[in-house]
Chain A
Amino acid sequence: MKVTIDGIPVDVEPGTTILNAARQIGGDIVPPAMCYYSKLEGSGGKCRTCLVKVSKGSEKDPRPMPKLVASCRTNVMDGMEVQNITSPEVIEARKGIVEILLINHPLDCPICDQAGECDLQNLGFEHGAVKTRYEFDRRTFEKIDIGDKIQLHMTRCILCYRCVFTADQITDHRIHGILNRGDHSEISTYIKAAVDNDFSGNVIDVCPVGALTDKTFRFKNRVWFTKPVDAHRDCDHEKCNGKVTLWYKGEEVLRVTARKDKYGEVEEFICNTCRFDKKKTSDWVIEGPRKISHHSVISANHYEFKPLPVLKTNPQLMEKNKEQFERDTRL
């Protein structure tokens, strides 16, 4: 099937969503997604940040869709034309959604463990306004411990339902859901029952914000000071293949997570033993440094400096920038 997104044509399989078609193209035209998670069935459609305009329904029925649609849950049709960043209407709506997502968010990034790898932070940075127009008290909740390894801080939650789907689909017993309704609805483990399950740690990885955090990593370090390294071990859990990312600070492994792709989605879910208990280099077979997009703040402290080619070939420029060049290449 042929789809055109922001004027870029792409051929995709029938049944692909607009979002996934856009991801096949890649780049700036990929709508942001806070609640959609390709590994979780039924996720998506809730946060509304991925709204796009369908300016031509399909080849057969070229009428545009009357409203903006959630690209993560709308399948493509042959000949469909979609506008994302080329449509002012979409940009305006997305700006509104970002503002709305942030009105009850505590904005405590300076003390939040997720900072640096937070989808909401990135989204706010790219689309949000500098100031909010919200002048009221923000919704707050008490922190809840889910077992001894995971902490739930509902105040930061954007109710994407990813952890609910994870509990539903990845873990064996679901004791995890939503209580109440509207802006006081909260993620809850029923009567604070501890999640005692081999895969419960994955809710930390799927959480787009800092609502679910790893207690073994809590306040240990900022993610951009740590160094991600791919590693694996021979895990004896039948559903876990032991492929992880280790986050080093010096010689010490501060935390273990599943390997995340550039959309923040894990490649494969890992078990709690790998995540929480194996924190020695000797437990792992190191594969090499994890590639993190250079746009991410995590790469900020360990980039390789490559002087622009023009600097190396133009003697005049080399002379002019000698001092600068030496300082930069020394790092």
Chain B
Amino acid sequence: MTAGAVPGAPRGAARLVLADGRVFDGEAIGAPGRATGEVVFTTSMTGYQEALTDPSYGGQVLVMTYPLQGNYGVNAVDSESGRIQVRGFVVRELTDLPSHWRSRGTLDGYLARHGVPGIAGIDTRALTRHLRTRGVLMGTVTSDESAEEALARLRRTPDYASGDYVAEVSTREAYAFGSGRDPAEGAPHVAVVDLGVKRNIMRILSGRGCRVTAVPHTASASEIRRLDPDGIVLSPGPGDPMLLDGVVGTARELVGAYPMLGICLGHQVLGRVFGARTYKLPFGHRGANHPVRDLRTGRVWITSQNHGFAVDGSELAQEMRVEQQHLNDDTVEGLVHEELPIFTIQYHSEASPGPRDTEFFFDRFLSAVAGGEALAAARERVGGV
């Protein structure tokens, strides 16, 4: 069937088969075919388009715990990258009849157009409880094979942990991020190492008056130096940071030369630069309601999160201090260098989706970029935020 074609038309059958043999029967949505990846859930109640297009979900099948999806359709402004990044999509209920003035089509049609299969109608809460207890695991959405066949196929599929997803989602060429507004003369220049960057990171930097250049994850330290940036952002992205020796090496070479900001995977990379190891969480942190405590002030921020790995703070170099912690499980949420302008956050201050309470964190980084004064002057000139 051509999914997403006729609103209200009956959907074909599909099933979700997990690597431990658990099967959920439901209806096929999105593109026909199979989708295999690590099955993860997010508890964010809004922002499905942002989540689908978030490169950090590369290699994963995404389960939305909120049951009603697609309510406001899909639009031209909410994408965080040029395509849908998830392998497959799992929901309780997908509407064919969205309502929003911005909407340009249904979520079903959007999945179909991007060739992403999905499944609807299943007990996503039962699935979530299963993933929470069992830990995340590989799974496949399928509509043309038996559960046994799917399981056998799944067992032959390489595990998520071995995949180099950053290579899949990173840009191949360096490019200047166009915000539609030319940065002013003398605006600070920020290089973003694209490990799977979300557009909103670049929008925020550019909105604060910066000139932004995205570079591939393979960019060497000297290539980056040649751009003559005033600061470097290591972006979020998918997969296991222990596989990213190349990026870690590049980052290590640049330490000390530039103010640096690491976000999510970028934070894990900088953690590794300063001697920490990373480890896999049982079912990750994915949602828009994660409390993070600032250890300096005791204040708690509600953050948007999407990560399956965390930094182990125990072997961290002395000069790197854990400044923020997850309130629920004490995992490391932010690092700061004692002397150098190097900051990291495990969560997503760029939100999109999620709360924007910590957007000020970009200002902290930018105040270190170009001594802060040049930036302030530049912002004055562009009349920015």
Chains A and B belong together in one complex: no
